[in-house]
């Protein structure tokens, strides 16, 4: 091993240790590629807003706007955020997130750039968070990570971001990140459908709501789209047919779904299309 590669190895070992330490303390998941944090604390203004000035992406289909709303919902955990910030120094109040996306398109395909950079607060606009990404999909990951930096304080009733300034530079570690649902060998009737919910147990502090009844759940109960976003996944592998059953309607081979467990245990062509549509977040 040459001197140069030995030196590189030392650097990698060092980085490995630094990241491992962060994993324990930060609870950001999936763990970003690069993180640095400080010791201060800022507070989100009650009318925390989305600002896209200077972005090349126009958000015609509302992907970013919906992602922003979803992020706030996750942070509020269904609380009313009505704390009084009037005694807080203005320089500690964050009014919004400034999202700059460099690519105008939103075509989702394998290999799309999902990297992002998140600065809390923004060095140029200290009363804003700065999030930049090549594509809207990178920005969605950035919002997801930002939601994990925020914390609703039950005593003061405001949302705070501890340990600022944050600098996070990230992109998913693997280009294929999938959820496999193997329903083909499962006699449960329609085990995925529109109301399908996934109970997940993963290292995350917060509780997620889908409807009011589930507010107190410790384990997040979320929809398929939220699930894939939360885990920064980009592939749904639906193992729908198996030796045991063929429950999918095929218009060109209408007898194939006679191989379902029963007449009711079938997916129509449109059911399948709806699930694909949901996972794409449309
Ligand atoms: C917020 O607190 C200040 C004093 O710190 C008080 O004057 C003001 O009335 C409070 N506002 C509300 C809406 O409670
Ligand atoms: C499908 O389920 C049957 C019965 O539960 C089991 O014997 C079989 O191994 C399963 N097949 C696969 C491919 O998982
Ligand atoms: C959807 O799936 C859930 C969970 O498997 C099931 O409880 C529910 O009855 C299904 N709904 C419909 C309309 O099939």
Same domain, yes or no: 113 and 44: yes
Arithmetic mean of pLDDT over the chain: 78
C-alpha 244 – ligand 2 centre gap (Å): 8
Instruction: Give the closest residue (by CA) to ligand 2 atom 6.
Output: 185
Cβ atoms of residues 224 and 198 within 8 Å: yes
Helical residues (DSSP H) of 63-162, grouped into ranges: 63-76, 136-149
- On whether residue 66 sits in a domain, the answer given is yes
What residue numbers bound the domain in which 130 lies?
25-170
Least confident of 39-53, 185-199, 246-260: 185-199
Examine residue 276 and state whether it is found in any structural domain, yes or no. yes
Higher pLDDT, 92 or 267: 92
Higher model confidence: residue 104 or residue 70?
104
Same domain, 165 and 54: yes
More confident: 3 or 65: 65
Q: Quick check: 224 pLDDT over 90?
A: no
Does 264 contact ligand 3 (Cβ within 6 A)?
no
- Asked which of 25-34, 124-133, 204-213 is least confident by mean pLDDT, the reply is 204-213
- The response to whether residue 84 sits with its C-beta less than 6 Å from ligand 1 reads yes
pLDDT-derived band of residue 149, with 50, 70 and 90 as boundaries?
Answer: very high
30 & 164 share domain: yes
Mean pLDDT of the region 110-119: 94
Give a yes or no: residue 18 inside a domain: no
When comparing pLDDT for 203 and 42, which is higher? 42
- Listed in sequence order, the residues at least 6 apart from 26 whose beta carbon sits closer than 8 Å to its beta carbon are 35, 37
pLDDT at 214: 33
Instruction: Record the tokens describing residue 77, joined without a space.
Output: 């955990």
Rg of the chain over CA atoms, in angstroms? 22
Domain end among 145, 170, 195:
170
- Look at residue 264 and tell me if it is in a domain: yes
pLDDT score of 47 more than 90: yes
Pairing of strands 116-120, 93-101: unpaired
Q: What angle do CA 71, 74, 75 make, to 5 degrees?
A: 90
| Distance from residue 264's CA to the centre of ligand 3 (Å) | 12
Mutate to test the pocket of ligand 1, among 80, 82, 86 (most ligand atoms within 8 A of CB): 86
Of 16, 3, 81, whose CA–CA distance to 43 is shortest? 81
Residue 166 shares a structural domain with residue 182: no
> Quick check: is 154 in a domain?
yes
Which of ligand 3's atoms lies nearest the C-alpha of 192? 2
List the CATH number of the domain containing 112.
3.30.379.10
Domain boundary among the residues 170, 203, 221 is at: 170
197 in the same domain as 132 = no
Q: Is residue 16 one of the residues assigned to a domain?
A: no
Domain boundary among 125, 150, 170: 170
Q: Are residues 138 and 226 in the same domain?
A: no
User: What's the CA gap between 157 and 130, in Å, rounded?
Assistant: 24
Counting ligands in written order, the one closest to the CA of 86 is 1
Report d(CA 204, CA 107) in Å as an integer.
30
Grade residue 145 by pLDDT with cuts at 50, 70 and 90. very high
Count up the domains in the chain and report the number: 2
Whether 58 and 149 share a structural domain: yes
Ligand 1 centroid to residue 84 C-alpha, Å: 6
What are residue 116's DSSP bridge partners? 133, 170
- Classify each residue of 104-133 as buried b or exposed e, where b means 16 or more C-beta atoms within 10 Å of its C-beta: eebeeeeebebbbbbbbbbeebebbbbbbb
Tell me, using a 6 A CB cutoff, whether residue 82 lines ligand 1.
no
Looking at the structure, do residues 116 and 34 belong to the same domain, yes or no?
A: yes
Quick one: 76 and 33 in the same domain? yes
Ligand 1 centre to CA of 31 (Å) is 39
Distance 66 CA to ligand 1 centre (A): 32
The reply to whether 109 and 241 lie within a common domain is no
How far away, in angstroms, is 191 Cα from ligand 3 center? 6
Instruction: Report how far residue 201's alpha carbon sits from residue 49's, in angstroms, rounded to the nearest whole number.
Output: 31
More confident call, 197 vs 207: 197
């Amino acid at each position: 091993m040459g001197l140069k590669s030995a030196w590189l190895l030392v650097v990698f070992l060092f980085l490995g240790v630094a990241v491992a330490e962060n994993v324990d303390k930060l609870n950001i998941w999936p763990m970003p590629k690069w993180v640095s944090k400080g010791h201060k604390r800022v507070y989100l203004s009650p009318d925390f807003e989305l600002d896209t000035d200077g972005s090349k992406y126009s958000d015609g289909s509302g992907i970013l706007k919906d992602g922003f709303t979803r992020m706030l919902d996750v942070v509020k955990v269904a609380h009313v955020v009505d704390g009084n910030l009037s005694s807080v120094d203005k320089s500690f109040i964050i009014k919004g997130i400034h999202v700059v996306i460099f690519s105008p398109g939103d075509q989702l395909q394998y290999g799309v750039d999902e990297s992002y950079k998140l600065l809390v607060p923004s060095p140029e606009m200290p009363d804003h968070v700065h999030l930049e990404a090549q594509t809207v999909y990178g920005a969605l990951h950035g919002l997801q990570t930002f939601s994990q930096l925020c914390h609703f304080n039950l005593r003061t009733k405001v949302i705070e971001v501890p340990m600022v300034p944050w600098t996070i530079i990230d992109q998913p570690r693997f280009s294929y990140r999938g959820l496999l649902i193997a329903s083909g060998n499962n006699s449960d009737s329609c085990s995925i459908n529109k109301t399908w919910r996934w109970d997940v147990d993963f290292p995350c502090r917060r509780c997620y709501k889908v409807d009011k009844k589930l507010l107190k759940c410790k384990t997040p109960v979320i929809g398929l789209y939220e699930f894939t976003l939360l885990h920064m996944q980009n592939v749904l592998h639906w193992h729908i047919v198996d030796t045991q059953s063929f429950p999918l309607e095929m218009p060109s081979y209408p007898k194939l779904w006679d191989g379902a467990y029963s007449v009711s245990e079938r997916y129509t062509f449109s059911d399948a299309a709806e699930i694909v549509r949901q996972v794409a977040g449309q």
